[in-house]
């Protein structure tokens, strides 16, 4: 069953293909897809940064148990937070 036959097979989606599809809907879907890919890329990059910062924090906790003044940590981690 193809698009030519419409939606005769499904009474639930009766409204779905009543009109001809114009170019704007495809363009909108492609733009939305591109935005979604960009957001996923940003989330991935932020996840890498967060994981790196967690690793750095764990290394500092293991390397200097109980003797951290905070200023040195802020200076080292500050470059990743910008």
Spatial distance between the Cα atoms of 34 and 77, rounded to a whole number of angstroms: 32
Residue with tokens 């097979």: 9
Q: What is the pLDDT of residue 24?
A: 78
Q: What is the pLDDT of residues 12-63, one digit of tens each?
A: 655 555 666 567 788 898 899 999 999 999 999 999 999 999 999 999 988 7
Other C-beta atoms closer than 10 Å to the C-beta of 19 total 8
Q: What is the pLDDT of residue 62?
A: 84
| Confidence band for 64, pLDDT divided at 50, 70 and 90 | low
pLDDT > 50? residue 72: yes
Helix (H, G, I), strand (E, B) or coil at 77: helix
Say what the pTM is.
0.48
């Amino acid at each position: 069953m193809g698009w030519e036959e419409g939606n005769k097979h499904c009474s639930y989606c009766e409204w779905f293909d009543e009109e001809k599809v114009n170019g704007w809907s495809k363009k909108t879907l492609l733009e939305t897809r591109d935005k979604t890919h960009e957001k996923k890329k940003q989330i991935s990059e932020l996840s890498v940064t967060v994981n790196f910062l967690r690793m750095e924090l764990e290394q500092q906790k293991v390397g200097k148990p109980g003797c951290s003044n905070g200023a040195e940590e802020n200076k080292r981690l500050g470059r990743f937070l910008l």
